[in-house]
Amino acid sequence: MDLVLQLLFTGIGIGAVYALVALGFVLIFRATNVVNFAQGEFSMVAAYLMVVFAVDLGWPYWLSFLIALGGMALLGVIFNLGVYYPLRHRSFLPVIIATIGASILLANSVLAIYGPQPQVLQGWFETPGIQLGPVYLDSQYLLIIAVTIALVIFNYWFFEHTLLGKKLQATSQDKEMASLLGISVSTMIMITFIYSAVLGGLAGILVAPVLFVSIQMGSTIALKAFAATIIGGFGDVAGAIIGGLALGVIETFGAAYISVPYKDGFAFLVLIAFLVFRPQGIFGERVAEKA
């Protein structure tokens, strides 16, 4: 039982990281109908921004955190104007390829500045974790889980109970209709990119003390987060969260009870199973094509 509880905590912790990044995928997909393959690199860039301000410059952690998130908001603006906006009238394929190109550019730019060696970023807390009976709770994972829960509540409130949230929802559902109702579609898409970049950045900053800061950290998480969005139902906020958590728990238990080397395989096995038997995901609605 001790083993199960320990694995469950770790699985939920890792799953929460996937969920945070998956949330960014979903928000951009809902607003623009394209998948942003640079979402993982947003996490990586934010983590490196923390290294710049909190480690290299020695600024207070909270200040570095705010500046890093501010930097991510700016990156969201640049990304929207430089990658999405020029291609907004094209089909989804050129935009997806542009996001892949942008992810390569971001990764190599950071590589050129910082080199390939991973960096260390301290966590928020002095205490690395607490022992609760037989289970060790890593303080950073506790924080990640808490932030994920807070974001779920915030997203619900924001999208369902604020005018801006409703405008964003309207834009994601039907751009032409939203435009006819006087909503500035380009502004809404800009806001979505900013929010997604900040979310991705938040995930990167939170996970950096656990996984270290490296060029690959974003792509590794993003791949799982992408699988999580498909499992949860592409375009569904609750689905991204549930998909992420489920993936974290499945791969942790799979590694413990079946095979460690094939840990990543379990995540993608579940993904394939969903694509075959339930392509719309857990929360997605079935879309039928008319003959």
Partner 1 sequence: MKLTRRDFAAGLAAGLAAPYIIKSARAEGAATIKIGMCAPVTGPAAESGRYAIQGAKIALEAVNKAGGILGKQAELVIEDDQTTNPGIVLAFSKLAAQPDIVAFLGSIRSTQVHAMAPDVLKLGKPVMIGGTDPNLTHMGNQWLFRFRPNDSYSGRVIAEYGVNTLGKKKWAILHSTDAFGTAGGKALAAALEKLGCPAVLDQGYANQSQDFTPVVLAIKQSGADILGSYFTFENDLGIFARQLRQLGVNIPWVGSPSIVNITALKLAGPALYNTFGVADYAEDSSDAAKAFGKAYRDVVKVAPDNQSSWTYDAVSVLSAAINKAGSTDPAKIREAILATKKFPGAEGEYNFDQNGDGLHGYNIVKNDKGNIVFDKHIEFTD
Q: Tell which positions 130-149 bind partner 1, by CB under 8 A.
A: 136, 138
DSSP labels, 25-50: HHHHHHHHSS--TTHHHHHHHHHHHH
- The set of residues, in sequence order, having a beta carbon less than 8 Å from that of 160 and lying 6+ positions away, is 166
Cα–Cα distances in angstroms (integers) from residue 26 to residues 39, 95, 227, 241, 286, in the given order: 10, 16, 12, 10, 17
Which is nearer to partner 1, 104 or 210 (by Cβ)? 210
112, with CB counted inside 10 A (0-12, 13-18, 19+), is exposed
**Mask for 208-237, x = binds partner 1 (CB under 8 A):** --xxx-x-x---xx----------------
Q: Sort 168 into a burial class: Cβ within 10 Å, 0-12 / 13-18 / 19+.
A: buried
Is residue 256 at the binding interface for partner 1, with CB under 8 A as the rule? yes
- Under rule CB under 8 A, which residues in 176-215 are in contact with partner 1? 210-212, 214
Binding-site string for partner 1 from residue 53 to residue 92, where x marks contact by CB under 8 A and - marks none: ----------------------------------------
Nearer to partner 1, 168 or 222 (CB): 222
| Binder of partner 1 out of 98, 247, 255, 270 (CB under 8 A) | 255
Determine which residue in the list 73, 104, 179, 264 makes contact with partner 1, applying CB under 8 A.
264
- Which of 120, 146, 177, 272 is close enough to bind partner 1 by CB under 8 A? 120
Instruction: Count the alpha carbons within 13 Å of 147 in the hemisphere toward its beta carbon.
Output: 26
The reply on whether position 263 binds partner 1 by CB under 8 A is yes
Residue ranges binding partner 1 (CB under 8 A): 3, 6-7, 10, 14, 17, 111, 115-118, 120, 128-129, 136, 138, 210-212, 214, 216, 220-221, 252, 255-256, 260-264
